[in-house]
Amino acid sequence: MNLLERKKSLRTELKRRRASVSEDKRKKMSQQIFTFLHEIDEFNQATSLFCYISYQSEVDTHQLINSILRKGLDLAVPKILGPTEMIAVPLLDLADLKPDKMGILTPLSKQIASGPYDVVITPGLGFTMMGERLGYGRGYYDKWFASNQVGLKIGIAFELQVVEELPIEKTDIALDMLVTEKRILDFRC
């Protein structure tokens, strides 16, 4: 099996695992992840953040986004512009989001937030104990990380998304930390 086939197979398995978690359990695990996030000094000291907007069975970020907005911090969220381009757009209120053609909440604005970002909360399907990340296959975050100033890249995921190894390419950018409902992993050491 070649690299692309391995990634496709792993994505299918990890989506299945994540989808098997009940909505109630997913909410409880998401809450625990946010509790752990608040134990990270850099997260608590951040004044500019970039955070993905959760979709379907991902770790729910809506509560986190509301918390960041209530604190009056600078927040940007992703907006997909094409098959390979993602930009950061300022967000002032969750009400400013509308579902795109896939049903993912996205900002209407195309105003680019300039950064830099103290913390980026990053999604993914799979993660390793070395900070490697398997995304959805378009490379949006790897490309975005390569061209934006980011202080700390934090992945958030359910423990069932942590795997022993991932098929990695040269263009894949590792995370600095991973937070699950069970632990905080710091890969900077």
pLDDT in tens, 70-117: 999 999 999 998 888 899 999 999 888 999 887 889 998 889 998 899
DSSP assignment, residue 138?
A: S
Return d(Cα 34, Cα 40) in angstroms, integer.
Answer: 10
Q: What residues make up the domain containing 177?
A: 3-186
What CATH number should be reported for the domain holding residue 65? 3.40.50.10420
Each residue of 39-70: pLDDT tens digit?
Answer: 999 999 999 999 999 999 999 999 999 999 99
Total domains present in the chain: 1
* Confidence at 4, pLDDT banded by 50, 70, 90: confident
Return d(Cα 176, Cα 42) in angstroms, integer.
Answer: 11
Indicate the Cα dihedral angle 69, 184, 175, 49, nearest 10°: 10
Return d(Cα 50, Cα 28) in angstroms, integer.
Answer: 23
Each residue of 128-187: pLDDT tens digit?
Answer: 999 999 998 888 999 999 999 999 999 999 999 999 998 888 888 999 999 999 999 999
